A and B are shown apart, each in its own frame.
Chain A
Amino acid sequence: MENKPGGSGLEQMTKEAQNVNNPHFFPDGHNLAAASQSSTMIFDFAKPLEQRLVRTLPTIPGTNHRFVVTDIAPDDQLLIGVDIHPGGSADGIYTYSMNTNEFTNIVDYGTSPIWIDGMNKVLFFHKGKILLLRRRDNSVKELDASLHVDTDIFHVLSADKRTFCYIKVESESDVWQATME
């Protein structure tokens, strides 16, 4: 089949002043959280673009750090994500309640948290390790020491939480010198 440059069936869904990235759908299927360069925004795609009110989440209390959402609990209310330092580094994992507008720091390290078993457990990544936090007692265990995951790469868990899909990066870089005569 002939490829159509740019694809067809493309529809612009947001028009914001800032760049928008890192989208995550709510389980309700029409709300979507996405990061901007200063905060996280929530869009309701059930409403037309012109009528849509965008909800902007606050920064982490007492800081100018962004809360970047990485997953949303099945109840559509409890967001989980990472505290992002202005320099870009991650500074711990937080939850954010859509009901109470409160942040809760659940662990001081790690990236890319994903809800498991409802909201009972959190799968997350830290320094190449895959960790699991049980919210009941806040205990953390490493899941598979042999599965080294680069936290800079991308991964996703299927909707039924039974397939872990990820990207493995192989890279090689050498230093060269070009002499101009």
Chain B
Amino acid sequence: MIGQTISHYKILEKLGEGGMGVVYKAEDTDLKRIVALKFLPLQNNLSQQDNDRFLREAQTAAVLNHPNVCTIYSIEKDESSGEKRQFIVMEYIEGMTLREKLAEGPLSLDTASQYAIQIGEALHEAHSKNIIHRDIKADNVMVTAKNKIKVMDFGLAKLKGSLKLTRTSSTVGTLAYMAPEQINGGEVDSRSDIFSFGVLFYEMLTGKMPFRGEHQAAMVYSIVNEPAEPITKYLPDASEELSKIFEKALEKNPDERYQTAIDMAVDIRRLKKQTSKITSIRSIQNDASGFQPVPASSAVHDRQSLARTMLWNSPRILQIALAVLVLVVVSLLFFGRNGNVPIRITVSQVTDTPGEELYPDISPDGNYIAFTRDIGEEQDIFLQRIGGGNPINLTKDSHSKNNYAAFSPNGDQIAFCSDRDGGGIYLMGATGESVRRLTKTGYNPAWSPDGKKIAYATEGITIAQARTTFSQLWSVSVQDGSTMLIDSGDAVQPRWSPHGNRIVYWGLPRGSGWRDLWSVDSDGKNKVRLTNDPAIDWNPVWSPDGHYIYFLSDRSGSMNVWRMAVDEKSGEAQSEMEQVTVPASNCSWLAISHDGKKLIYSSLERRANIFKMGFDPVNEKFIKPEIQITTGSKTYSWLDISPDGTKIATTSSGVQEDVYVMNSDGTNIRRLTNDKPKDRGVRWSHDGTAVYSYSDRSGKYELWKINLEEAGSSR
């Protein structure tokens, strides 16, 4: 195999071999990057059902997009040798497995917690998409040189059962990490992963396993019937909080276990903050208790060998293979509106620098993107060739906020917004030259197809949830700067139809907090409402053939791409909405190429936690240290401190915006609302018995009062 090219992958070296097949390091000759290819065993003995199951599992796992999850790029088929062989194309990671790391000795509480928090977040991400790992263990976790965790093989453990590799392989997972219900063949869910996660955290801290057995039967008995070895046996100084984490993670009954991985990660994070160091591991003689994880089957053993071989052959120092330009490909199938026209979607990551890359637009030739990046307090517009990795700052000399770049139809110019010289819409050449001001106000410029006009709104959009004004829609002549009011609003983010006769935009219906789509003639006549429900619909773009409007919506639970067929002349919808799934948990800023084949978007990950610090109003200074109150992946927004200072009210943001109250140290979190309406802007009543917020639960944003004594609550 070495040196051969399969599809567009040149095989470079064998990384390992096991029951799951063979893993090779390979070069993707199309995308010029290094990948790992996992070839499954010959599929001739697989039933169609097994084969379909494999594809379904792998495709599901491929949707995962999280910094702590090893990315599956695609699942492909090699028929070159006359035999059908499926192989998985995955992210090539250089580092070591947690198993190798632990071979050097147990980890400090600080390091183990740091790893565990990342594993918990990876599990949480997968579980939120109904993906169960089923084989969490030290061999399936990679540690990079920067202590970044990558959990591997999500969703693939189930496949192992399908492959019927050995007599015992229908029980999926590695015995020492298995939850009791997994061993008993009961129903496996996310809580089974949490049990395995607990075992792994225990192993990280002690180098030992919490359940013992000199042979498989003894191990099975121990997991199912015996309590875990107290952590204090190996860590005499372990805190009660640490012991409680293990008690809760390793509960035999899933209902009494941690119910979510993020809950466990939050407890670990809190413990990490509280405990400075527990590093002394009592020396234990290597007696019968000094065991190693016992594989459930020879297939599992093979798989471990595979992983070890793969990683022993890898350099120890992290060098994520995706160096300058990261191009990630995930293949998905999207079925068109009749459900019978599959459209293959290949997804590539175009930028990969730390921080936010926002508001992308694609050049008419499809070869470049322009996007906005924060540079300190400024924002600059960058131009980058797709497939290249050297973005050029087009606005570096302006020392202001420059954003919302839009290529002109012939690609010669870029319209953009800038707050320089009082602000407005500006034009520049496609490489940043010849800047001139076009308007003194306006945001989100959109070119007419003939390049003679630009439509713009009077409010700029950063995210759909954040609106501050009632925005109007205008157009301006590129030649003479004359302006015309198109729509008195509310209207933002306009996009011109391909033949110039209509403009699509989104806005808040009068007296409502909804985000809906409209189209209107370019002269402001014949306004047509395209959506009319509480879902957030925003960022509409017209397909170049004028047949569809693509847009972003949270109507499926997370922000992703949707489309509907429209009549370009009338602007009327011609079909129901249908989802075009791209692998992003929070998709934002959609653009479409002039050939209609490429969608460009930003994948936005945001977390916001609450902190506090003392303040001395007399001496006018802050009193450190800074104390973190909340942890985890939830995004908090508004907050208020109760009049007596003992509690905090806050709201979550994102797909669901609810009101929470908690003690001022972050404990005893109570969720006061839990429904689709958006609750924001919390304020305590003066007697501390109620929390006020503004909410769209009546259809538009009004003030609401929540009486705490009557309020339902959940932890």
Contacts and interface: CB of A to CB of B under 8 A. Distances in A.
Given A11-B704, A176-B600, A24 B683 contact: yes
A137 interface: no
B614 A163 contact: yes
A22 interface: yes
B536 to A, nearest CB: 15
Contacts of A157: 615, 641
Contact of B638 (A1, A16, A154): A154
Nearest to A35: B468
A26 B687 CA distance: 13
B609 interface: yes
Contact of A168 (B343, B598, B609, B659): B609
Interface residues of B, number: 120
Interface string B696-715: 11101111111111111111
A19 B700 contact: yes
A176 B608 contact: no
Interface stretch (B77-85, B306-314, B356-364): B356-364
A17 B377 CA distance: 37
Contacts of B580: 178, 180
A78 B698 CA distance: 32
- A21, A155, A165, A175 — which one has the most chain B CB atoms within 10 A of its CB? A175
Instruction: Determine the interface band of chain A, counting residues with CB < 8 A from chain B.
Output: 35 or more
Contact of A173 (B386, B604, B706): B604
B694 interface: yes
Interface in A3-48: 3-25, 29, 32, 34, 37-38, 43
Contacts of B648: 165
A144 B713 contact: no
Contacts of A169: 606-608, 635
A179 interface: yes
Contacts, number: 301
A125 to B, nearest CB: 12
Interface string A141-179: 101100100000111111111111111111111111111
A50 interface: no
A11 to B, nearest CB: 4
B346 interface: yes
A144 B615 CA distance: 11
Contact of B702 (A20, A127, A128): A20
B91 to A, nearest CB: 14
Contacts of A117: 617-618
Contacts of A158: 641, 645
Contacts of A177: 347-350, 362, 369, 386, 598-600
Nearest to A164: B615
A15 B660 CA distance: 24
A173 B702 contact: no
Contacts of B714: 1-3
Interface in A111-151: 116-117, 121, 127-128, 130, 132, 141, 143-144, 147
B613 A178 contact: no
Interface stretch (A55-63, A85-93, A100-108): A85-93
A128 B686 CA distance: 31
B704 A10 contact: yes
Nearest to B353: A174
B617 A162 contact: yes
Interface in B655-713: 659, 664, 671-675, 677, 680-681, 683, 685-687, 692-694, 696-698, 700-713
A164 B612 contact: yes
A165 B641 contact: yes
Contacts of B501: none
Given A23-B681, A173-B358, 17 more contacts: A5-B674, A15-B702, A20-B703, A21-B701, A22-B694, A84-B469, A87-B459, A89-B419, A156-B640, A157-B641, A165-B629, A167-B609, A170-B607, A172-B354, A177-B598, A180-B334, A181-B345
Interface of B: 67, 326, 328, 334, 343-358, 360, 362, 369, 371, 377, 386, 419, 423, 441-443, 458-460, 468-470, 508, 511-513, 561, 580, 582, 584, 588, 596-618, 620-622, 626, 629, 635-641, 643, 645, 648, 659, 664, 671-675, 677, 680-681, 683, 685-687, 692-694, 696-698, 700-715
User: Can you list the 8 inter-chain pairs with the closest CB atoms, starting with the nearest?
Assistant: A4-B712, A9-B710, A29-B686, A3-B714, A9-B707, A19-B701, A7-B673, A173-B356
23 contacts: A5-B674, A6-B673, A11-B706, A23-B694, A86-B469, A87-B469, A89-B423, A121-B617, A132-B620, A154-B639, A159-B645, A161-B617, A162-B616, A168-B611, A171-B607, A172-B606, A173-B355, A174-B602, A175-B369, A176-B328, A176-B584, A178-B345, A178-B346
